Amino acid sequence: MKTRKLKNVIVHPEDKSTEFLRPIYKKTTSKRVFRKGNSIEDIRSQIERSDRVMMMGHGCPSGLFNVRMFSGAGGLAISCQEVELLKNKPESIYIWCNADRFVERYELHGFYSGMFISEVGEAKYCGVTATQEMVDESNNSFSKIVGKHIHLPVSKLYDRVRKEYGTLAETNPVAKYNYERLYLR
């Protein structure tokens, strides 16, 4: 059976420290990518017309940080203001620190992360002893694996990521920490 093509909206604020996430959507077709210089109204309009929304970068329980991305969005690019639009997008992807608290608070659906170590300072904060090489290996492997399976429905994407990233989690403490905080709802 052929998988239906999704119209994808990617919200990934431009930030050097999260560039490792680009392989997730690099090969995705039928997409609109928002990195900087857009209005929140334009993003909301595109979300409304999309099948899947991929949101990634730095964030908190209240949403995805703006990081100088959009005019009129305040400190968050994705917040409670977008919840009603996202409720109709069960194939969405939420990858930022504490996205789990956002997704669960608003009863959203998709593939999402909890606290996600992407820097040595975050590893230290989370009590994980890690080198830059361990962090880089985890970051790059995660993005490559998600990107390889991004065309799948989120339930299958989740299964594949858990299996493949789980292999790295057996030897890499950063990947182990992140692996334990990947969810499907």
**When comparing pLDDT for 46 and 37, which is higher?**
46
Residues with Cβ within 8 Å of residue 48, at least 6 apart in sequence: 85
What are the backbone dihedrals phi and psi of residue 67, each rounded to the nearest 5 degrees, phi first?
Answer: 45, 60
pTM of the predicted model as reported, rounded to 2 decimal places: 0.93
pLDDT digits (tens, 9 = 90+) for 160-182: 999 999 999 999 999 999 999 99
pLDDT at 6: 60
In order of 26, 70, 160, the CA distances from 156 in angstroms are 19, 32, 6
The arrangement of secondary structure in 8-184, i.e. its CATH architecture, is 3-Layer(aba) Sandwich (3.40)
Q: Long-range contacts made by residues 131-139, C-beta under 8 angstroms, separation at least 24?
A: 134/172, 134/173, 134/174, 135/174, 136/20, 137/168, 137/172, 137/174, 137/175, 138/168, 138/172, 138/174, 138/175, 138/178, 139/20
Q: Residues 111-153: pLDDT tens digits?
A: 999 999 999 999 999 999 999 999 999 999 999 999 999 999 9
Percent of the chain scored above 70 by pLDDT? Answer: 93
Report the length, in residues, of the chain: 185
**Which pair of structure tokens corresponds to residue 180?**
């334990």
